[in-house]
Amino acid sequence: MSALPPLNKPLTQDAAASFTLSAEYYLSADIFELEKQQIFYRSWQYVAHESMLPDPGDFFTLQICDESIFVIRSSDSKLRAFYNVCRHRAHELLQGAGNVRKLIVCPYHAWSYDNQGSLKVARMGEHRPGFDKAEFGLKEIRLEILCGCIFVNLDDQCESLHALAAGLEADVREHIPYLDDIELCGTDLLGETRMDAGWKVVVDNYVECYHCRPAHKAFASIIDMEKYQVDVHDYWSRQYGPDIRIENTAYPVDPDVGIQSSIFWYLWPNTTFNVLPGSNEFAVFAVRPETTTSSTFGGHSFAVGGKVYQPRVDYVADILAPEDINLCESVQRGLNSKSYDQGTFMVDPDRSGESEYALHQFHRLVQQALSID
């Protein structure tokens, strides 16, 4: 597309005077294609926790829009990321997660690579004049670790994750002192949930709690919304409920066990770190775009000792997640109405936790990312 559709009302730096992105930004196939190029192929994407790949040869694959990648622990114990594509005829190399003990062998023509990406076997290569296996190694991808989590970025010129998310790891560690002791739980909190709602609708819903009292009554019964806080940084935000109610309609909480607060971090453009009161757990989820109007929300849950607190899992799976899915899918349908173009950001001077400052930040980041000079 040659130019972005103009906004009838301004989306500016002042949240109190600003308006949201228009409905077209949520419905346009052209904008969705631009988002792939300008956002998802140029941003840090969560893959897995480093503890999930403990041994040489352990790998984990990930689909980032139209690109398949994999992360592998090499024989030198270093984590590396590569495009999941054979350099011969583009067949995908690996599926899912697992371990390749020796060589990564392409199922198509058996070109084979070591776990550091070097081409080792190319049958009949000796008959091709000037063929140099060194020129056909796997294409490596930028990789960084944040809070023990593996992130990749397809942009070779990208800014460092730690620079982009300055202060995030320190903030997480300040609130989650058990971060280095977590283990992957046998059952993910949500697994991977598909929604008939585009990725921006899902992130919109995640980064604001203006909807929590009317739409998440059980959540608002366990979290003291009068003391709820939101803090916004350049590329991340945090929602924090420092006080909880032991007597609530969500799930039972032992005041002497585990974390006694709720914390939700958002990292641009689609990663979330999640903590609910109860036993010491930590969930990492990402919103993955599928189409203009569909996405998935999934990732991994961790806990000290690797065991989830089942009442909390049941609450999220049976109550909280279905509530959010219904909200997002309703919004996606409503965006098609000819009566709707842009909304407003509801904020207050005290920057309370129910205000939509983090939502405003997200819309501004989308706007900036899609603006091509």
Radius of gyration of the chain (CA): 22
Q: Which fold has domain 45-153?
A: Rieske Iron-sulfur Protein (2.102.10)
At 228 the pLDDT is: 97
User: 92, 52 in Cβ contact below 8 A?
Assistant: no
Distance CA 149, CA 96 (A): 18
At 101 the pLDDT is: 87
- 62 token code pair: 């990930």
In terms of C-beta distances under 8 Å and separation of at least 24 residues, what long-range contacts does 32-36 make, across chains too?
A: 32/198, 32/289, 32/291, 32/292, 34/1, 34/370, 35/289, 35/366, 35/369, 35/370, 36/65, 36/66, 36/289
* Side chain identity, residue 191: G
Q: What CATH class does 167-370 carry?
A: alpha beta
One digit per residue, pLDDT tens: the chain, 373 residues? 557 889 999 999 999 999 999 999 999 999 999 999 999 999 999 999 999 999 999 999 999 999 999 999 999 999 999 999 999 999 999 999 999 989 999 999 999 999 999 999 999 999 999 999 999 999 999 999 999 999 999 999 999 999 999 999 999 999 999 999 999 997 544 468 999 999 999 999 999 999 999 999 999 999 999 999 999 999 999 999 999 999 999 999 999 999 999 999 999 999 999 999 988 999 999 999 999 999 999 999 999 999 889 999 999 999 999 999 999 999 999 999 999 999 999 999 999 999 999 999 999 999 999 986 4
- 289 token code pair: 């775009």
Triad 66, 235, 348: Cα angle to 5°: 125
| DSSP 8-state class, residue 160 | P
At 373 the pLDDT is: 44
User: 234, 218 in Cβ contact below 8 A?
Assistant: no
- 127 token code pair: 């008959």
Q: What residues does CATH 2.102.10.10 cover in the chain?
A: 45-153
Neighbours of 124 (CB within 10 A): 8
Q: Which residues of 145-178 are buried (b: 16+ CB within 10 A; e: fewer)?
A: ebbbbbbbbbeeebeebeebbeebbebbeebbee
Alpha helices by DSSP H, 185-228: 199-206, 212-215, 217-222
Distance CA 78, CA 279 (A): 32
Triad 157, 288, 80: Cα angle to 5°: 45
Distance CA 180, CA 173 (A): 9
Residue corresponding to tokens 């930590």: 282
Which segments of 160-225 are extended strands (E)? 182-184, 192-195
Q: What residues does CATH 3.90.380.10 cover in the chain?
A: 167-370
Would the pTM of this model clear 0.85, i.e. be above it? yes
